[in-house]
């Protein structure tokens, strides 16, 4: 039997989603309590990794077990055991063909900058900036990333060279709400650091540190060395993983 879960977490206290040799991961903590409830080792599969300090409101995972547990009771038990910075939002039984990673057709991420410099409680969940950027100019920069591109200039140099750097971004919006500036991206997939690098570049345009032409050149050159900009991990959220409803 295959269980699907939607998970939210504050990543500030974890080394990332995936189990690591050094440091506590979100995957490890969830597996620990699932294994206790099911009285056997349970391995979960996530829709993708999130890095150290990155958050999620809609991470999706699946796991298999021969044991049948009512999903409402399972959700209640997990949220009772798990630390308060990891929450199970939904559990359902799905077909065996469902795969949290390979069945996904797109993802939505959001990056949150804030001008609120006097609040001591937000530094783990938003990236503080000191100067008001031009939000209209930021949206113009965001529009340059729409469509299908080779994002070699906007990803980690450490990923497998055989892996395609071509991705499609369907939509990017830049919205300011009081102190907060939020960049929301919807695409068919994202490379490691891709969202954080794009969002920092968009911010730099808004701060007049980069021009739109320079951003266009970064995309065209397809060269990892042309962009050294990368936003901090604490402002990034995996908002939703989308699956084909058919």
- Helix-strand-coil percent breakdown of the chain, rounded to 5? 30, 30, 40
Integer Cα distance of 59 and 70 in angstroms: 21
Degrees to nearest 5, angle at CA 63 with 61 and 65: 160
Per-residue pLDDT, 158: 74
Residue finishing a domain among 40, 72, 94: 94
**Nearest residue to 176 (alpha-carbon basis) of 135, 116, 119, 232:** 135
pLDDT in tens, 100-150: 999 999 999 999 999 999 999 999 999 999 999 999 999 999 999 999 999
114 and 196 co-located in one domain: yes
Cβ-contact 105, 244 below 8 angstroms: yes
60 and 16 co-located in one domain: yes
133 and 230 co-located in one domain: yes
40 within some domain? yes
Residue finishing a domain among 94, 125, 159: 94
Higher pLDDT, 80 or 23: 80
Domain ranges, residue 22: 2-94
87 and 33 co-located in one domain: yes
100 within some domain? no
Among the listed residues 51, 124, 150, 180, the single catalytic one is: 51
220 within some domain? yes
Please say if 51 is a catalytic residue.
yes
For residue 160, pLDDT beyond 80: no
50 and 118 co-located in one domain: no
44 and 131 co-located in one domain: no
29 and 62 co-located in one domain: yes
Say which CATH number the domain at 148 has.
Answer: 3.30.70.660
Domain count, the chain: 2
């Amino acid at each position: 039997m295959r269980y699907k879960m939607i998970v939210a977490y504050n990543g500030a206290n974890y080394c990332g989603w995936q189990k690591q040799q050094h440091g506590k991961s979100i995957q490890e903590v969830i597996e620990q309590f699932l294994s206790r409830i099911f009285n056997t080792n349970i391995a979960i599969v996530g829709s993708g990794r999130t890095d150290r300090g990155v958050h999620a409101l809609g991470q999706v995972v699946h796991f298999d077990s021969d044991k049948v547990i009512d999903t409402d009771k399972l959700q209640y038990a997990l949220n009772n055991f798990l630390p308060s910075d990891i929450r199970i939002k939904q559990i359902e039984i799905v077909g065996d063909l469902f795969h949290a990673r390979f069945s996904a057709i797109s993802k939505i991420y959001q990056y949150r900058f804030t001008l609120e410099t006097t609040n001591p409680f937000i530094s783990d969940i938003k990236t503080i900036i000191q100067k008001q950027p031009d939000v209209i100019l930021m949206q113009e920069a965001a529009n340059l990333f729409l469509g299908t591109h080779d994002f070699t200039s906007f990803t980690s140099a450490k990923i497998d060279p055989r892996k395609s750097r071509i991705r499609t971004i369907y939509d990017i919006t830049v919205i300011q709400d009081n102190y907060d500036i939020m960049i929301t991206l919807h695409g068919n997939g994202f490379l490691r650091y891709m969202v954080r690098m794009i969002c920092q570049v968009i911010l730099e345009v808004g701060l007049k540190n980069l021009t739109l032409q320079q951003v266009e050149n970064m995309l065209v050159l397809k060269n990892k060395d042309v962009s050294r900009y990368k936003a901090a991990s604490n402002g990034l959220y995996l908002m939703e993983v989308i699956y084909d409803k058919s």
